[in-house]
Amino acid sequence: MHKPLLQVEDLRVEFHTDDGVVRAVDGVSFNVAAGETLGIAGESGSGKSVTNLAILGLLPRPPARIVGGRAMFDGRDLLTLSQPELRRIRGRRVAMIFQDPMTSLNPLLTVAEQLTEMTRLHLGHTPRQALDHAVTMLEKVGIPAAGRRVHDYPHQFSGGMRQRVMIAMALSCKPDLLIADEPTTALDVTIQAQILELIRDLQRDEGTAVVLITHDLGVMANLCRRVAVMYAGRIVEESSVDELYSRPHHPYTLGLLRSRPRLSGGDGRLRPIDGQPPDLSRLPSGCAFHPRCPFVVDRCRVERPALLPTPFEGRAACFVSKEVAAAAEVELD
């Protein structure tokens, strides 16, 4: 197996707020190989964004504090790099796109200004080269009349088109890794599929590795080979997509799968997970999921399960993962 492109080990991030210390990311580890697509799923508030913002040093400090871990990229720990060193990686080697394309582009600058400043900085383009490249990128992401539209402002584009602009911008320096943080959550359902398809096609053509963050497991199935599921700042399960969908080993994953709309099978009802995600500054004892877990046993209330390998090449953090997998197999079949 290749050496991973990005290797996150035991990442811990806290927020020091007036209400106390919020453990937003609590010992997260994952790898991304070159050219691979990793999915990160979980309800909102589970720490997906904070994990990835921490890796690129984009969290507001204070209140955020990275209290532990490493993020090895190309032999260097991103968490210990100086700001100037980090700036040579951001955008150039690791690019990011965000949830809301309405607010993620600067409303007072044209698309051309926002695209060209990046390649001029990282690739040393002349203004002419940068503009040509910007048009090429816009064409690549399917923006019609790109040569003309490049001079428009963000508000002159629809939501879906803006996200295409974001993608064009993110990929304009041919990064090794693209982190896409819920890139379709703010878009219409019909547009969502188009954007995901675009990311998949570009990923295939350019060989870019992708971390795709989403709270929707359905979105993952087509794009990722491996998926990590986060709950309350920890990865509770990680495995291949096929495995995860047919035989989840963590009750939270099973809950997410149940709550997903499906076209066929089952009784057609959506079954949301009972209860609310926990307050991260007052986590329950033991397994953070135990108050909502239908499989709960006494041990779950006092001891926190470690993320351990399952018999099927995945990892799960659950004392009763075998029972969960067995129940899931029957139910999801």
Partner 1 sequence: MIAYLLRRALWTLSVLWVVFTLSFLLMNAVPGRPFGGDRGMDPEIEKIFRARYHLDEPIYVRYGYLLTDYLRGDFGISKTLRDFSINEIIAQGLPVSATLGLLALLFALTFGIIAGIASAVRRGGLVDHSLMAVATVGIALPEFVVAGLAIIMFVFILPWFPSAGWGSLRHLVLPVVCLGLPYAAYIARLTRSGMLDVLSQDYIRTARAKGLAPSTILTRHALKGSLLPVLSYIGPATAGILTGSLVEEKIFAIPGLGIHLVESVFQRDLTLAMALTMLYTVILCLMNFIVDVLYKVVDPRIKLDA
Ligand X SMILES: Nc1ncnc2c1ncn2[C@@H]1O[C@H](COP(=O)(O)OP(=O)(O)O)[C@@H](O)[C@H]1O
Classified as helix, coil or strand, 57 is coil
Site string for ligand X, 278-317 (x = CB under 6 A): --x-------------------------------------
Q: Using alpha carbons only, give the angle 174, 12, 235 rounded to the nearest 5 degrees.
A: 75
Classified as helix, coil or strand, 263 is coil
Tell me how crowded residue 218 is: count the other CB atoms within 10 A of its CB.
14
Give the helix/strand (H/E) hosting 111.
Answer: helix 111-122
By CB under 6 A, which span of 39-47, 86-94, 236-244, 303-311 interacts with ligand X?
39-47
Cα separation, 223 vs 240, whole angstroms:
12
Going by C-alpha positions, the residue among 115, 209, 211 that lies closest to residue 162 is: 115
Q: How far is the CB of 98 from Mg ion (least distance, A)?
A: 9
By CB under 6 A, which span of 37-45, 130-138, 159-167, 201-209 interacts with ligand X?
37-45
Cα separation, 262 vs 167, whole angstroms:
29
Q: Which is nearer to Mg ion, 246 or 281 (CB)?
A: 281
> Distance of CA 140 to CAs 182, 210, 244, Å?
21, 18, 33
Which positions lie near partner 1, rule CB under 8 A? 56, 58, 87-92, 95-96, 98, 100, 103-109, 117-118, 121-122, 153, 155, 166, 169
Contact between 49 and Mg ion (CB under 5 A)?
Answer: yes
Contact between 37 and Mg ion (CB under 5 A)?
Answer: no
Contact between 104 and Mg ion (CB under 5 A)?
Answer: no
| Residues touching ligand X, count (CB under 6 A) | 15
Q: Which is nearer to ligand X, 23 or 133 (CB)?
A: 23
Q: Quick one: what does residue 91 bind among ligand X, partner 1, Mg ion, none, with the CB cut-off 5 to 8 Å set by partner type? A: partner 1
Q: Quick one: what does residue 106 bind among Mg ion, ligand X, partner 1, none, with the CB cut-off 5 to 8 Å set by partner type? A: partner 1
Q: Quick one: what does residue 169 bind among ligand X, partner 1, Mg ion, none, with the CB cut-off 5 to 8 Å set by partner type? A: partner 1
Q: Enumerate residues 83-112 that contact ligand X by CB under 6 A.
A: none
Contacts of 174 (CB under 8 A, 6+ apart): 206, 208
Q: Is the peptide bond before 63 cis (omega within 30 degrees of 0)?
A: yes
By CB under 6 A, which span of 45-53, 88-96, 101-109, 191-199 interacts with ligand X?
45-53
Cα separation, 311 vs 308, whole angstroms:
10
Applying CB under 5 A, the residues found at the interface with Mg ion are: 49
